[in-house]
Amino acid sequence: MKFPDLDGREIDLVKYRGKVVLLDFGAARCVPCMEEMPTIKAVDQQYHARGLEIVGITDDSVPKDPRNPRDSEKSLARLQAFLVKENMPWRSSRTPAPRSAPA
């Protein structure tokens, strides 16, 4: 399975073969997700050196209009700033923007 991270680099789960990978699905607006974040950080600090990899998947900052490149860039910048502020050093991706159904 391959998908882009927030910097546009490819995350290829095959490259994590032999490691324990935690896929952390969440969102900043999700209260339980934010409540568990200190635990996720502690697990990362304790086990990363032993091979644990965390990949965050979020639907935060999905642009209001995915066809508008400016809106998409601003929402991505907000999400990246949040991850830095919250000291989340693992690679992260976001779910694709919803597509409207054809008329």
Is residue 103 in some structural domain?
no
* 42: containing domain: 2-94
Model pTM greater than 0.85? no
Is residue 90 in some structural domain?
yes
Question: What total number of domains does the chain contain?
Answer: 1
pLDDT given at position 101: 46
pLDDT in tens, 22-44: 998 887 777 888 888 889 999 99
Is residue 101 in some structural domain?
no
Q: How far apart are CA 84 and CA 96, in angstroms?
A: 21
Q: How far apart are CA 24 and CA 33, in angstroms?
A: 9
Is residue 82 in some structural domain?
yes
Task: State the CATH number of the domain containing residue 71.
Answer: 3.40.30.10
The 10 Å CB-count burial string (b at 16+, else e) for 70-79 is ebbeebbeeb
